[in-house]
Amino acid sequence: MTYTNCWLTYPLLVDETGKTIAVSSEFTGPVADSALEELKAGFGGMYRRSVASVAGEADIALKKNEKIHPEGYRVTAGNGKVVLESGGERGMLYGVFSLLRQLQLSGGSFNDFSWQQDTAPANPLRMLNHWDNMDGSIERGYSGSSFFFENEEVVVNQRTKDYARLTSSVGINAVVINNVNVVKAASWLISDRYYGKLRQMQEIFAAYGIDLYLSINFAAPMELGGLTLSDPCDPGVQQWWKEKAKEIWQKLPGFGGFLVKADSEGRPGPFTYGRTHADGANMLADAVAPFGGKIIWRCFVYNCRQDWRDAKIDRPKAAYDNFMPLDGQFRDNVILQIKNGPMDFQVREPVAPLFGGLKHTNMMIEFQIAQEYTGQQRHVCYLMPWFRQVLEQDMCVPGVPSRVADLVSGRSYGNQNCGMAAVANTGNDLNWTGHDLAAANWYGFGRLAYDMTADPLDIAREWVQLTFGSNAQVVDTLTAILMDSWPAYEKYTSPLGIGWMVSPNNHYGPSVDGYEYDRWGTYHRASHRGLGVERGRTGTDYCRQYNEPLCSLYENVDTCPDELVLFFHRLPYTHRLKSGKTVIQHIYDTHFEGAEMAEGFLSKLEAIKNLLPEDAYDRMHQRLQHQMEHSKDWRDIINTYFHRISDIDDEQGRKIYD
């Protein structure tokens, strides 16, 4: 059995066999060839029409227009003719994918189709970060093994191309193929041992407008080069990286650059030598600058050996504390990559305050679609509504537009080295993402990174229709499940922004105290008196990392949004939320509601059984069944824990196991 095409399905719409589509193109080269191939696949599938390249009069004219963004496009389609213009080949290819998408969504004949669009990407960098290891495993991977690596080898095959097609079809233009935790085997990726295969992969990516990036080990001069140190201020180390960069760009022309996790969770970095993150990033930046390379430096830096007894250390403060003093010290080709929240991809967190702090430093946002803490692709959890909320959050920077969307897209300060990244959710499972519905996050992330004003509901509907066809019942049912999935997950897991409550290592819950006495800085500190962490000035003073009026909004318990109130405050169970409910009643109600919603997902799916392909139905059914059962575990364990500890009964007298 072969793997699926996800949303690139191109089912037959109208049989127009015999009528060839003539395509003229002012673009040449591999990307132009891909565009033609995609048109062939699309028109062949949807209309049984063949596609021919012509020099003159055409049905589809692909034109160069320097006035249009090189990754944007302008399309006019009507009466069986299409004119598609772009300032560059990537924009042209995106326009072709959009045309095919719109045709499929229209459901009708090519002649009756009319459509116009004039668009450009919101973000310069739209990137996927894969956490794939050289042995084929994937860190936090929930959909099989890697299709990039196997037994310490780089794998290049048809799947590489199909991955590139899917990824490019939603506008993603950069991919990091290996884990940020670069162990020794992966350090060798930047050596002769692997350049040949990487070059093949890179050519496939490039034909789909995707730049190849690699995660590197900061200690590579020692691991690969036999040096005794990797001090960024050491001339020998600097020289080693300069030569290495020259070699890489010689072997892999058009290479994008490095993603670096340094001084984080045990990874090597500049701290060893008493140097700063700016010293480390700039040294690499100088080495890659002559080749137009970028250094993406992660800000996920915190003390992961904390003593839980010490309530003064507060993990969410760490990124800001580490990087704010360095604002303005980074080279132009360095981009700081900041996780969306100050913790670690929880179902709900405030936005990382660093976004509102840095003013003279390039930054991009790091989301995660791998669902590490949001159901691990066993639970359905469509994340675009959450990501959209994050992007809309105003960080209240005086004098500039400062929604997260403005800050990461470069609108606020007029820079180009910025954008959105997501930790990817793909693997070699037949459906690519383990849960068939998880592919909506891959699709959705690309669509949202390209257009941050896109409505998550529209994205969901579109994805369902492209993947499963346009039967209204199917589209309505699966869209409704997707749209309810993040709210449901939030309801039946940890309450009111507190996060965690999962087992260390595998990060799958429920385990209320799983992290409580551990070294990772992730505590709920529940007692019979209350729950949550005080992060205002009477507590850890984390709130002060936000600009006013955000700082006061969060610090004041009366204005702090309910959904984050236990992140920012330690409260008694009887505290009344703005919703009118007490904290404890909120916990009970949401847990009963959330588990009921999960049960509803299963029955909704069962009602459309006959309208879905059998294999996809079976896979989804099995996962939704698990989700239903697991959500009950969450419900009962959380409710029982807090009932025991608070000794307050549910007002509605529902079953809580004591």
Q: Which residue in 458, 457, 448 sits closest to 123, CA to CA?
A: 448
Q: Which residue in 573, 390, 369, 385 sits closest to 488, CA to CA?
A: 385
Q: Judged by CB under 6 A, does residue 490 bind ligand GCV?
A: no
> Is 162 among the residues known to form the active site?
no
- The residue among 108 and 504 lying less far from ligand GCV, judged by its C-beta, is 504
Q: Pick one of 74, 90, 101, 140: the residue that binds ligand GCV (CB under 6 A).
A: 140
Q: Shortest gap between Cβ of 345 and ligand GCV (angstroms)?
A: 7
Q: What is the DSSP letter of 410?
A: T
- The residue among 302 and 554 lying less far from ligand GCV, judged by its C-beta, is 302
Q: Shortest gap between Cβ of 142 and ligand GCV (angstroms)?
A: 12
If you write DSSP's letter for every residue of 142-196 in order, what string do you get? Answer: -SSS-SSEETTEE--SHHHHHHHHHHHHTT--EEE-S-SS--HHHHGGGSHHHHH
- Residue 50 is which amino acid? S
Q: Which helix (H) or strand (E) holds 33?
A: helix 30-47
Q: Shortest gap between Cβ of 329 and ligand GCV (angstroms)?
A: 23
Q: Shortest gap between Cβ of 370 and ligand GCV (angstroms)?
A: 9
Q: Pick one of 344, 406, 436, 490: the residue that binds ligand GCV (CB under 6 A).
A: 344
Q: Judged by CB under 6 A, does residue 518 bind ligand GCV?
A: no
Q: Pick one of 131, 205, 213, 592: the residue that binds ligand GCV (CB under 6 A).
A: 131
Q: Shortest gap between Cβ of 180 and ligand GCV (angstroms)?
A: 5
Q: Judged by CB under 6 A, does residue 365 bind ligand GCV?
A: no
Report how far residue 658's alpha carbon sits from residue 447's, in angstroms, rounded to the nearest whole number. 46
* Measured CA distances, 513 to 252, 473, 505, 527, 650 (Å): 48, 42, 14, 11, 22
Which is the catalytic residue, given 15, 265, 307, 458? 265
Residue 141's contacts (CB-CB under 8 Å, 6 or more residues apart) are: 131, 132, 370, 427
Q: Shortest gap between Cβ of 521 and ligand GCV (angstroms)?
A: 11
> Is 321 among the residues known to form the active site?
no
- The residue among 265 and 307 lying less far from ligand GCV, judged by its C-beta, is 265
Residue 477's contacts (CB-CB under 8 Å, 6 or more residues apart) are: 604, 605, 607, 608
Q: Judged by CB under 6 A, does residue 511 bind ligand GCV?
A: no
Residue 592's contacts (CB-CB under 8 Å, 6 or more residues apart) are: 635, 639, 654
Report how far residue 488's alpha carbon sits from residue 459's, in angstroms, rounded to the nearest whole number. 19
Q: Judged by CB under 6 A, does residue 300 bind ligand GCV?
A: yes
**How many residues lie near ligand GCV (CB under 6 A)?**
9
Cβ pair 214, 176 in contact under 8 A:
yes
Q: Shortest gap between Cβ of 265 and ligand GCV (angstroms)?
A: 6
Which is the catalytic residue, given 372, 429, 436, 534? 372
* Strand-pair partners of 257: 213, 294
Cβ pair 400, 360 in contact under 8 A:
no
Cβ pair 211, 175 in contact under 8 A:
yes
| 360-369 burial code (b ≥16 CB/10 A, e <16) | ebbbbbbbbb
Could you give the angle at which helices 30-47 and 192-206 cross, rounded to 10 degrees? 50
Report how far residue 49's alpha carbon sits from residue 52's, in angstroms, rounded to the nearest whole number. 10
Q: Shortest gap between Cβ of 302 and ligand GCV (angstroms)?
A: 10
Site for ligand GCV in 99-118 (CB under 6 A): none
Q: Judged by CB under 6 A, does residue 302 bind ligand GCV?
A: no
- The residue among 155 and 183 lying less far from ligand GCV, judged by its C-beta, is 183
> Is 555 among the residues known to form the active site?
no
Q: Judged by CB under 6 A, does residue 386 bind ligand GCV?
A: no
Q: Shortest gap between Cβ of 261 and ligand GCV (angstroms)?
A: 5
- The residue among 422 and 584 lying less far from ligand GCV, judged by its C-beta, is 422
Cβ pair 214, 177 in contact under 8 A:
yes
Q: Judged by CB under 6 A, does residue 470 bind ligand GCV?
A: no
- The residue among 262 and 464 lying less far from ligand GCV, judged by its C-beta, is 262
Q: Judged by CB under 6 A, does residue 315 bind ligand GCV?
A: no
Residue 522's contacts (CB-CB under 8 Å, 6 or more residues apart) are: 315, 343, 344, 499, 500, 515
Q: Pick one of 32, 122, 180, 620: the residue that binds ligand GCV (CB under 6 A).
A: 180
Q: Pick one of 137, 181, 238, 272: the residue that binds ligand GCV (CB under 6 A).
A: 181
Cβ pair 146, 424 in contact under 8 A:
no
- The residue among 85 and 344 lying less far from ligand GCV, judged by its C-beta, is 344
- The residue among 110 and 149 lying less far from ligand GCV, judged by its C-beta, is 149
- The residue among 453 and 506 lying less far from ligand GCV, judged by its C-beta, is 506
Q: Judged by CB under 6 A, does residue 277 bind ligand GCV?
A: no
Q: Pick one of 90, 261, 388, 524: the residue that binds ligand GCV (CB under 6 A).
A: 261
If you write DSSP's letter for every residue of 310-364 in order, what string do you get? Answer: -TT--GGGHHHHHHGGGTT-S-TTEEEEEESSSSSS-SS-PPPTHHHH-SSS-EE
Q: Judged by CB under 6 A, does residue 382 bind ligand GCV?
A: no
- The residue among 190 and 262 lying less far from ligand GCV, judged by its C-beta, is 262
What the block records as the tokens of 341 is 């929240």
Q: Decide: helix, strand or coil at residue 603.
A: helix
Site pattern 393..422 for ligand GCV (x: CB under 6 A): ------------------------------
Q: Judged by CB under 6 A, does residue 137 bind ligand GCV?
A: no
Q: Shortest gap between Cβ of 334 and ligand GCV (angstroms)?
A: 18
Q: Which residue in 450, 463, 559, 548 sits closest to 9, CA to CA?
A: 463
Which parts of this chain interact with ligand GCV (CB under 6 A)? 131, 139-140, 180-181, 261, 265, 300, 344
Q: Which residues are catalytic?
A: 265, 344, 372
